[in-house]
Every structure is written in C-alpha cells, then in structure tokens.
C-alpha cells in the first residue's frame, strides 16, 4: 500500500477491518486462480483419457488408482471416468463461482475505501 502525502482522513477500526477484508479477499483471489488452473488441467486430462478410451478397443483397461494400475473391465472404467469428469466439472464450476463472488466483494470494498481515502490508498496490484 502506498504511503499517502499527509493523509487527512482518519483511519477508524471499521476502515481497518475493510482493509483487512480486502487483503484477505485478494489473497483468496490469487489462491483461486491457481486452484482454477489445476482444476482446468484435471478436466482436460479426464477428457483426454475419455477420448483415448473410446479410441482404444481393449476389453481390459489399466486404470490408475493411487500408485498402481488396476486391470479393470472397460465398462467399469467408463463409468468411473464419467463420475470423475462430473466431479471435476462441478469443482471447476464451484471455484469459478467463488472467484466471481470474491471479485464482486473486492469491487465493493474498493468503492468504499477509495471513496473515503481517495489518493491516500492504493488497492491495485503492483
């Protein structure tokens, strides 16, 4: 945060709490960006796996559970993959929604804080 030139506005406990909340939200925003990146990659991998499965014509597929590759019948692998894809896509959706909410809250706080402190405060990403 920039040090303003002889800031006139007094900082109240409420202002401090708003600033704290903004900091927390900003941190969460960055965490979410990373989590969303990981979730997107997971979704893509599952898509690729699904496609590979369709292309291959083996009856027994080696499906990774933990550190080992278990031999499983094709249908079971298909249903497992479907479930995993569904879970992954729901997770991605949840993360995107949380990100939107965080951004909205940050925008609100920016309005309030800039409103009171104008130039004395800097809430942008350096």
Partner 1 sequence: MAASTSSSSPGVAERRGIPAASFVDDVETYLKQSGLDVNSSLAFLQERLQQYKIVEMKLLAQQRDLQAKIPDIEKCLDIVATLQAKKGTGEALITDFEVSEGIYSRARIEDTDSVCLWLGANVMLEYSCEEAKALLQKNLENAKASLEVLVADLQFLRDQVTITQVTVARVYNWDVHQRKSRQAAKET
Q: What does the binding site for partner 1 look like in residue numbers (CB under 8 A)?
A: 1, 3-7, 10-13, 16-17, 19-21, 23-25, 27-28, 62, 65-71, 98, 101-102
15 vs 59: CA distance, rounded Å = 64
Q: Which is nearer to partner 1, 45 or 101 (CB)?
A: 101
Which structure tokens are listed for 71?
């031999």
- As measured in angstroms, the least distance from the Cβ of 100 to partner 1 is 11
CB closer to partner 1 out of 8 and 57: 8
Smallest distance from partner 1 to CB 23, Å: 5
Residue 30: φ, ψ to 5°: -65, -40
Q: Which is nearer to partner 1, 17 or 56 (CB)?
A: 17
Sequence-separated (6 or more) residues with CB below 8 Å from residue 84: 46
**Least distance to partner 1, CB of residue 48, Å:** 20
CB 54 within 8 A of CB 81: no
Q: Which one, 20 or 45, has the nearer CB to partner 1?
A: 20
Reference 104, options 14, 13, 21; nearest CA is 21
- Joined tokens for residue 114: 């800039």
């Amino acid at each position: 945060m920039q040090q303003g030139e002889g800031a006139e506005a007094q900082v109240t406990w409420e202002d401090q709490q708003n600033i704290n909340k903004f900091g927390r939200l900003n941190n969460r925003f960055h965490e979410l960006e990373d989590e969303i990146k990981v979730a997107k990659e997971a979704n893509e991998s599952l898509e690729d796996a699904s496609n590979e499965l369709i292309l291959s014509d083996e009856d027994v597929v080696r499906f990774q559970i933990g550190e080992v590759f278990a031999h499983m019948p094709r249908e079971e692998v298909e249903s497992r993959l479907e479930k995993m894809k569904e879970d992954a896509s729901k997770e991605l959706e949840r993360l995107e929604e949380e990100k939107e909410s965080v951004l909205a809250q940050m925008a609100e706080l920016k309005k309030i804080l800039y409103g009171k402190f104008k130039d004395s405060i800097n809430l942008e990403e350096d």
